[in-house]
A and B are shown apart, each in its own frame.
Chain A
């Protein structure tokens, strides 16, 4: 388990550092690229948890589609090469407070739920077929609810973007 711990520490520190730089950098495109590093690091952590399907989805959806659209939108509107002085808003102390509180609540919830439970040294490998089976049996109703929600979001976007 030592190798896993070292790799976890390495990836986690990259994720933490990139997340910090995402909010502190003064260049808007750099902020987006640091966010890509955060999401890629999370994908790597999913691989370490043997969640292959989730990791692949993370790369396809978040990096391949969402971040590309982010960068597309930024570059289409305003993306100067140098620094933007007004990129850090005046409300950053409030945001810091909210983020700290949220982090504390999440850490408390995780520690409270799992205490000192350890991951099995010989982890179960979840096959993609298992994921498919549980989505269409145990989690069928949440899955359908999410797809209706996404449809509503899609229609909402069309309504907002229409000129007439």
Chain B
């Protein structure tokens, strides 16, 4: 578009991802962890550093960076060091396919949403590595809980997406946005067809499973501070802990963005053609607004509910979410053929 050669384009895209991921986690931590949680608990949260405490988050990040880098004596050093990198890598890879406008996407892969779910499953590997390499009982138990939970909730997540893929007829995230912008419900086409209206069961399953994939309360048994003192993260300090922290909120942003793209219409806008160049300007703002809305629901649940028990968690995934999502796929398939 601007006449750049391949390597220049790739360098710019890499730079954008490297910048976007830390910024998204800074936004989420400030808006939700500092402010929303404080207001829900009738307190103000950090107020001193910067206007309304906005610079507190920078201070926190610098505090983590200057801490001593400690690893336990008995730990398996190489695996211990690699683990947070694997988790963060899975977060960075997620941002490759998330679109913010008709041309604003790093790479519009044909396997789009399938690719995103595949790379998000890599974080389970990093969590297991962290749990094992820490040479600590609590860490190992946390790692095992995390792996069991991530595998159990990966299935409903994938199956909930299948309904959207059937309706859109493509796995490409750009294609899903266009399909929603140009769709119609019972002949009414002026708002398009955001799939939250027709795939509301899929949306509910996706949000529940995403809550578990992100290990947010009520599904936070892997880090359960009151029983496992922090689970797989217990031996990590300083910037290695910061990497886990950044991955957690960066992934939360990516999952909210995936939900906005698949169910809320992404960067599409009613009355404007989905190839219009104006959407490259309005799209990112629209996406950010939708992401904040979806993330608000995720964190609202996180700050409101108590933790489930481990067996309740597994039962809920295998005996409720998976059967419901299978029925949803069958129903979607039949309706797709009928209409």
Contact = CB atoms under 8 A, between A and B. Distances in A.
B27 to A, nearest CB: 28
A19 interface: no
Contacts of A114: none
Contact of B144 (A57, A67, A72): A72
Interface residues of A, number: 26
B124 interface: yes
B121 A63 contact: yes
A33 B110 contact: no
B74 interface: yes
Interface stretch (B147-155, B189-197, B234-242, B272-280): B147-155
Contact of A33 (B118, B129, B140): B129
Would you call the interface of chain B mostly helix, strand, loop, or mixed?
helix
Interface string B136-149: 00001001100110
A128 B171 contact: yes
A75 B125 contact: no
B34 interface: no
B85 interface: no
Contact of B110 (A30, A52, A67): A52
Interface string A63-90: 1110111011001100101000000000
A64 B122 contact: yes
A128 B108 CA distance: 13
Contact of A63 (B111, B122, B132, B144): B122
Contacts of B75: 81
Nearest to A53: B111
A68 B117 contact: no
Interface in B83-139: 109-111, 114-115, 117-119, 121-122, 124-125, 128-129, 131-133, 135
A64 B132 contact: no
A75 B140 contact: yes
Given A56-B118, A71-B147, A63 B125 contact: yes
Interface of B: 74-76, 79, 109-111, 114-115, 117-119, 121-122, 124-125, 128-129, 131-133, 135, 140, 143-144, 147-148, 150-151, 154, 170-171
6 contacts: A60-B117, A60-B118, A64-B121, A64-B154, A65-B151, A68-B125
Given A68-B124, A75-B128, A129-B170, 10 more contacts: A33-B79, A33-B129, A65-B121, A65-B154, A68-B121, A68-B147, A76-B144, A127-B110, A128-B110, A128-B114
